[in-house]
Amino acid sequence: MTDFLLDLNDVQRQAVRATEGPVMVLAGAGSGKTRVITYRIAWLIKNGYASAKNILALTFTNKAAGEMRHRVDVLLQQGSAGGLWIGTFHSIFARLLRNDIHLLGYDRNFSIFDADDSKSLIRQSMGELNISPDSVPLNTLQGIISRAKNSFILPEEFRRSAGDYNQQIAAKVYDLYTRKLRENNALDFDDLLIKPLELFREHPMVLEALQDTFRYLLIDEYQDTNKAQYLAAKMLSAKHRNIFVVGDDAQSIYSWRGADISNILNFQDDYTDALTFKLVENYRSTGTILQAANSVIRNNLRQIKKELVSHRSAGDPLTLIEARNERHEAEKIGEYIHSIRIEKGYEFRSFAVFYRTNAQSRVLEDLMRQNRIPYKIFGSVSFYKRKEIKDAVAYLRFLLNDRDSESLLRIINFPPRKIGETSIGKLREFAEAEGITLYEAITRADEGQFQSRLVNSLKGFSSLIEALRLLAETGTVYAVLTELFSLTSIPLLLKEENTAESLARHENLQELLSMARDFSDNNPDQGSLGDFLETISLASNYDESQDSDNYVSLMTVHASKGLEFPVVFITGLEERLFPLNCYEPEQLEEERRLFYVAMTRAQEKIFLSWAQTRYLYGQPQYCLKSMFISEIDSSIVKTESGTVLADRKERQGTRNAVPESGGYRQRPAGAVSAPSQKPRESGLREGSTVHHAVFGQGTVLDVQGRGAGQKALIRFRNAGEKTLMVQYANLRVL
């Protein structure tokens, strides 16, 4: 029974065998984290600790879940992995909610609202509350509300603790938005995490039943959990206390999504009897790459100390590429890809190019195309976010949940049926007066005071819906979609339009159709429309794994987490780009972790690049070399000409130097002067009144240090107290 554990190293094996009680595995990059989780699941089943259906494994991406399931299947051979609960937090919780959400007054056919649906509902709420987006931007409100939800702060509590003006506005919007979701019988992504918590709190029996079912709980990427996920995990495991978490605090890069790094940092305080294992043996990267990564992450204060140990030889030093501008940067990357490929025999698929922001991908993409380098951009516009797909899906969603007004509004006049905004306004009034839903208003349009032309249009629409709904009750998803396309002629219209764009959209609809066919073939049972929609709603464009084609991968650093490549280019290493503008020390630490993630993806070689000028919002900007470059041991970084950085005589300070003016012919056209970043005297002192682009006006309470490392403690009128790095904060002294 222990033979298959021979594939593991000592620490991995100990972690697998520690079956009872809380366990945390700190798994450094490339240390075999997935291996430990999958072997542990196999171990539990093979040794009869639990059967598959008593094990719940939670991940953050569908891709990770799929990979895990596959690997467990392989380990167990006879397929006893059936019944295993492996999935993302969101999909597993959605599944649980389908069973019990009626207890909270929702219908089990609830819609899942994506970020756009949610934004639209927030916009409506703001409209009704007479809150102009000029006073508090929509995105800000959406962020505040989402963060509150991720921290499991419900509207009532939020209102009680709302401090500044923005918060008070947000409290009102949050409250109305929540009511609107309920009216729509809809849950947003955050609700999928917090509705179970409400359910557990109000109906302890439901929780108890789940605790009995899930005797073993495993959580991947624990450093990325937010408060709601943390609470759910705690509640679910409270009875058997078999909670097993795997993560790496150094790879926590989603704090802006509510992830709370303290969950992993404090695990041992939380579960005082927890066993902890540290996996630091790295099987992925050369010694030099790990030395570089270790030297950078050492600069973070808030972390659990651990240094990755390589199982490989030292390998090559890192190469620093210094380019004139982003175009030049891309050209150099293209040249290196060609030359390394030829000299060292690497294939295109061995290369990855990372960037901090999606906007950077364009220049890189252009160049790849021009130089005939096959490439693939990961995580650009999601298939499901395309308009034509969203429209088709809105029909399906509406068939299942006719309170879903977001979907209704999408389809009511698509394809055009002469039901415009004014008509919808009248319908709304009618619905409100009668106290009925918008769709009921449509079916009872003849009772309202509408023009007969409008009544006819509405009747046409509702009979279309009813026909499709009838089909949906007995037919497959594929049948419904086929009928939808035939009755509405949506694909036909696109084909007739006959532009490159419309044909691409037509193609996408065909793709959706073939996905529906696959789904229907695999799920011939009735009522699978809901499952299909759930799969679609919770799918993301990052789920697609690399196929067998041979291409260079282009992606954001965030998207690179969990992947590995022989040769990695980390681009745009400039102050204010990577690290991206960050005002608070904690944000800088997160940027550093992000850089750490980027470096630890590489197996053989790393190229670091920066450009002296770069367009930002259409304006050329001077750039400064990223501080992260100078944090790497300079003995293992060489320039393109082969000089080791440590030996290079710097004519200028590395950190804050402005590129020599005149040194470059190509002064940016119509050059706007760069944001001045010289460590000139900041002029800050206690009591100064300052203005900050994000936090607004505030008073300086304390100033520490000077020059590059200067920090200031500032009390903002509307944003509370913050410690900011003066160098980055771009404060205006008033």
Name which position in 259, 445, 490, 608 contacts DNA (CB under 7 A).
Answer: 259
Active-site entry in 100, 221, 391, 591: 221
Rounded Cα distance between 231 and 226, Å, is 9
For the question of residue 666 being annotated catalytic, the response is: no
Rounded Cα distance between 304 and 404, Å, is 46
What is the maximum alpha-carbon separation in the chain?
86
Which residues are paired to 553 by β-bridges? 352, 376
Name which position in 362, 667, 706, 732 contacts DNA (CB under 7 A).
Answer: 362
For the question of residue 406 being annotated catalytic, the response is: no
Residue type, 539: A
SS (H, E, C) 137-161: CHHHHHHHHHHHHHCCCCHHHHHHH
The reply to whether 530 sits in an annotated binding site is: no
Name which position in 170, 364, 419, 731 contacts DNA (CB under 7 A).
Answer: 419
Active-site entry in 227, 327, 410, 601: 601
Positions in 222-251 near DNA (CB under 7 A):
224
The reply to whether 448 sits in an annotated binding site is: no
The reply to whether 27 sits in an annotated binding site is: yes
Answer yes or no: are the C-beta atoms of 227 and 153 closer than 8 Å: no
Identify which of residues 441 and 636 has a Cβ nearer to DNA in the complex.
441
Q: Which of the ranges 38-46, 59-67, 169-177, 711-719 carries the binding residues for DNA, by CB under 7 A?
A: 59-67
CA dihedral 402, 407, 408, 410 (to 10 degrees): -170
Which residues are paired to 245 by β-bridges? 24, 219
Residue type, 474: T
Burial of 346 (0-12, 13-18, 19+ CB in 10 A): middle
Identify which of residues 222 and 478 has a Cβ nearer to DNA in the complex.
222
Residue 612 tokens read as 């002296």
Least distance from C-beta 100 to DNA, angstroms? 19
Name which position in 77, 105, 617, 681 contacts DNA (CB under 7 A).
Answer: 617
Positions in 693-732 near DNA (CB under 7 A):
none
Positions in 552-571 near DNA (CB under 7 A):
556, 558-559, 561
Active-site entry in 220, 589, 591, 604: 220
Residue 636, CA atoms < 13 Å, CB-side half-sphere: 21
Answer yes or no: are the C-beta atoms of 251 and 223 closer than 8 Å: yes
Answer yes or no: are the C-beta atoms of 512 and 392 closer than 8 Å: yes
Answer yes or no: are the C-beta atoms of 605 and 566 closer than 8 Å: yes
Rounded Cα distance between 25 and 238, Å, is 19
Please report whether residue 257 would count as binding DNA according to CB under 7 A: yes
Identify which of residues 91 and 184 has a Cβ nearer to DNA in the complex.
91
Please report whether residue 340 would count as binding DNA according to CB under 7 A: no
Answer yes or no: are the C-beta atoms of 102 and 110 closer than 8 Å: no
Q: Which of the ranges 35-43, 315-323, 403-411, 612-620 carries the binding residues for DNA, by CB under 7 A?
A: 612-620
Please report whether residue 216 would count as binding DNA according to CB under 7 A: no
Identify which of residues 616 and 658 has a Cβ nearer to DNA in the complex.
616
Kindly determine how many residues on this chain lie close enough to bind DNA according to the rule CB under 7 A. Answer: 55
For the question of residue 34 being annotated catalytic, the response is: yes
For the question of residue 220 being annotated catalytic, the response is: yes
Please report whether residue 115 would count as binding DNA according to CB under 7 A: yes
Please state the length of the chain. 734
Identify which of residues 85 and 542 has a Cβ nearer to DNA in the complex.
542
Residues 6+ apart with CB under 8 A from 635: 644, 645, 646
Least distance from C-beta 541 to DNA, angstroms? 6
For the question of residue 239 being annotated catalytic, the response is: no
- The residues carrying an active-site annotation are 33-34, 220-221, 251, 601
Binding annotation for ATP = 27-34
| Contact set with DNA (CB under 7 A) | 60-63, 88, 90-91, 115, 119, 123, 133-134, 137, 139, 189, 221, 224, 254, 256-259, 356-359, 362, 379, 382, 413, 416, 418-423, 538-543, 556, 558-559, 561, 576-577, 580-581, 615-618
Binding annotation = 27-34
